[in-house]
Amino acid sequence: MHAWLCETPTGPDQLVWRELPTPEPAADEVRVAIRAASINFPDILIGQGKYEFKPEPPFVPGSEFAGRVDAVGSHVTHLKIGDPVAAIGSIGGFGTHACVNAANLIPLPPAFKLEDAAAFAFTYGTSHHALIDRGQLKAGETVLVLGAAGGVGTAAIQIAKAAGAKVIAAASTDEKCATCIAIGADATINYSRENLRDSLKSLTGGKGPDVIYDPVGGDYAEPAFRSIAWRGRYLVVGFAAGGIPALPFNLPLLKGAAVVGVFWGDFVRREPAANARMLGELAQWYAQGKIKPVIDELLPMSEVKTAYRRLAERQIRGKLVMVNGA
C-alpha cells in the first residue's frame, strides 16, 4: 500500500508519500480499500499538532474516507469483503488502504456514491447535530449560516431547508454566495462588502435570525450575535477564521438568547446510539435527494498537499475530495 505519512506534525509540507506494508486487520477491525477521502479543517490542526486529538507520529492523516472492505477481522460479523463503507472518527484516509475498528464504519446503501460518502458524515453529522439537536430548529424559523460556502456551511444550508427553515447564507465572495443560492439558500450576504448587521436587519424585517450557525468565529461573531432574535440560539461550531471571539456576557441576557456549544466528535463518542439514528435519517434524506454533498473538485490522492493549501486559503466551495485510481 501507499500513504501520506506524517512523521513530524508541523504542517502539510512535511507529509511524505511512502510505500508501507499492507496492514492486516485486528480481530475487531476491517481493512478498507480506499476509493475517496475528503479534507476537513481539523485535518489541518491535527497535522500541526494543535487539535484535541493528537495521534502519535508517525501516522497517516485523513479523518473521513470511503471505500470497500477487502479484509475482515475474526470478530466482525456484520461486514464482508466487497461491502461499501464510510469511515468516521479515525485517521488513515490519505492512502490506499486503512485498517479501521468496525464500530467506526458506516455500511453504505448500494446507491450511495463513494465520492459523496467521503464528503458526508463529518459535515452533515456536524450540521444536523447542531441545527436539529442542539439548536432545536423549527419549521418557519430563520437561520443565518456563516462561512456558508464551506463544507459544513453547505451542509447546514441543505439541512435547514429540509427542516423547513428560511436560510440566509453569509460568505466572502459573490461566487460563494451564488453557490449557496444554487443549493437552496433564500438570501445571501457578501460580508466582504456588505454590513452584516444592516443586511440582517433588512432581510428579517428587524427581527433577526432565530438560529445562527457559526463555524467561523473571528470578527463576525459579535455583530452576528447582536443581530440575533429574541430567544435565539447561537451555535458555536468552530473557529475556522482562527480567532476565538470574546463575547460580552450582557448580550445573551439582553437578547434572552442562548450560546450553544456543538462538538459532534464528542457527541459520537458519548451518544453513539443517537448518532447512529441521526446518520440513518441523513442517509434517507440523501436517498430522497434532499441533501447532497457539494464537491468543489475531485483530485487524485497525489494532490493531498494542494488540498491542504486550498482549504487553508479558503479556496473551496463545499468539499475537496481526493480519489485513488483516478
Domain boundaries, the chain: 2-120+293-323, 122-265
pLDDT at 314: 85
pLDDT at 183: 97
What CATH architecture is 122-265? Answer: 3-Layer(aba) Sandwich (3.40)
pLDDT at 21: 95
Where does 145-195 have alpha helices with state H? 151-162, 174-182
Spatial CB neighbours of 95, under 8 Å, sequence gap ≥ 6:
1, 2, 3, 4, 20, 34, 60, 62, 301
Q: Which residues pair with 261 in a beta bridge?
A: 236
> CA-CA-CA-CA torsion for 274, 26, 86, 306, nearest 10 degrees?
120
Spatial CB neighbours of 44, under 8 Å, sequence gap ≥ 6:
12, 308, 311, 312
**Residue 265 confidence class, pLDDT cut points 50, 70, 90:** confident
| b/e code 169-206 from CB counts within 10 Å (16+ = b) | bbbbeeebbebbeebbbbbbbbbeeeebeebbeebbee
92-122 pLDDT, tens digit per residue, is 999 999 999 998 899 999 899 999 999 999 9
Q: Is the pLDDT of residue 317 over 70?
A: yes
Question: Which H/E stretch holds residue 168?
Answer: strand 166-171
Better pLDDT: 315 or 253 = 253
Asked whether this chain's domains 2-120+293-323 and 122-265 adopt the same fold, the reply is: no
**Residue 289 confidence class, pLDDT cut points 50, 70, 90:** very high
Q: Is the pLDDT of residue 3 over 80?
A: yes
Mean pLDDT for 262-273 is 92
Please tell me whether residue 45 adopts helix, strand or coil conformation.
helix
The set of cell numbers assigned to 12 is 502539510
| b/e code 79-111 from CB counts within 10 Å (16+ = b) | beeebbbbbbbbbbbbbbbbbbbbeebbebeee
pLDDT at 326: 59
pLDDT at 256: 97
- The model carries a pTM of 0.91
12-52 pLDDT, tens digit per residue, is 999 999 999 999 999 999 999 999 999 998 899 898 888 87
Distances, alpha carbon 28 to alpha carbons 76, 79, 82, 106, 165, in Å:
6, 11, 17, 15, 42
The set of cell numbers assigned to 138 is 423549527
pLDDT at 107: 93
- DSSP calls for 130-150: IIIIIS---TT-EEEETTTTS
pLDDT at 301: 96
52-99 pLDDT, tens digit per residue, is 788 999 999 999 999 999 999 999 999 999 999 999 877 899 999 999
pLDDT at 315: 86
202-237 pLDDT, tens digit per residue, is 999 999 999 999 999 999 999 999 999 999 999 999
The set of cell numbers assigned to 226 is 447582536
Q: Is the pLDDT of residue 310 over 70?
A: yes
Do the beta carbons of residue 199 and residue 177 sit within 8 Å? no
Task: Give the CATH number of domain 2-120+293-323; options: 3.65.10.10, 3.90.180.10, 1.10.357.10, 3.40.640.10.
Answer: 3.90.180.10
Q: Is the pLDDT of residue 292 over 80?
A: yes
Mean pLDDT for 261-266 is 93
Packing angle of the helix pair 272-287, 121-128 (nearest 10 deg) = 110
Distance CA 140, CA 135 (A): 14
Spatial CB neighbours of 188, under 8 Å, sequence gap ≥ 6:
148, 168, 169, 170, 171, 177, 180, 181
The set of cell numbers assigned to 145 is 449560516
Q: Estimate to the nearest angstrom the gap between the alpha carbon of 25 and the chain centroid.
A: 27
The set of cell numbers assigned to 197 is 448587521
pLDDT at 42: 86
129-185 pLDDT, tens digit per residue, is 999 999 999 999 999 999 999 999 999 999 999 999 999 999 999 999 999 999 999
